[in-house]
Amino acid sequence: MRGRFSRSLLVMTSAVLALALAPAAAAGAKSLQDPVPIGPNEYFTGLVNNHPPGQAVIYVVCPGPLQPGQTGHPTASQPVEVEPASPTSTGDLGYTGSAGDEITAALGTTSTSIVLASFTSYFVQQYIPTGIEVPCSGTGTVAFIPSPGSSTAKTAILDVTFENIAV
Return per-residue pLDDT of the chain as tens, 167 residues: 555 544 443 334 333 334 343 444 444 455 677 899 999 999 999 999 999 877 899 999 998 888 888 999 999 999 999 999 998 877 789 999 999 999 999 998 666 789 999 999 999 999 999 999 999 999 999 999 999 999 999 999 999 999 999 76
**Total structural domains in the chain?**
2
Q: What is the pTM of this model?
A: 0.78
In a shared domain, residues 71 and 54: yes
In a shared domain, residues 72 and 147: yes
Read off the CATH number of the domain in which 145 is found. 2.60.40
Q: What is the DSSP letter of 75?
A: P
In a shared domain, residues 106 and 130: yes
In a shared domain, residues 62 and 138: yes
In the sheet that holds 126-127, the strands lie side by side as 94-95, 43-48, 79-84, 126-127
> Which residue range forms the structural domain that includes residue 107?
36-164
Asked if 35 and 73 count as a contact pair (C-beta separation under 8 A), the reply is no
In a shared domain, residues 138 and 66: yes
Give the pLDDT confidence score for residue 7 in this predicted structure: 44
In a shared domain, residues 159 and 127: yes
In a shared domain, residues 9 and 91: no
In a shared domain, residues 9 and 84: no
Other C-beta atoms within 10 Å of 152: how many?
14
- 156-164 and 56-61 beta bridge pairing: parallel
In a shared domain, residues 54 and 116: yes
In a shared domain, residues 108 and 158: yes
Which residues partner with 148 through β-bridges?
Answer: none
In a shared domain, residues 3 and 82: no
In a shared domain, residues 118 and 149: yes
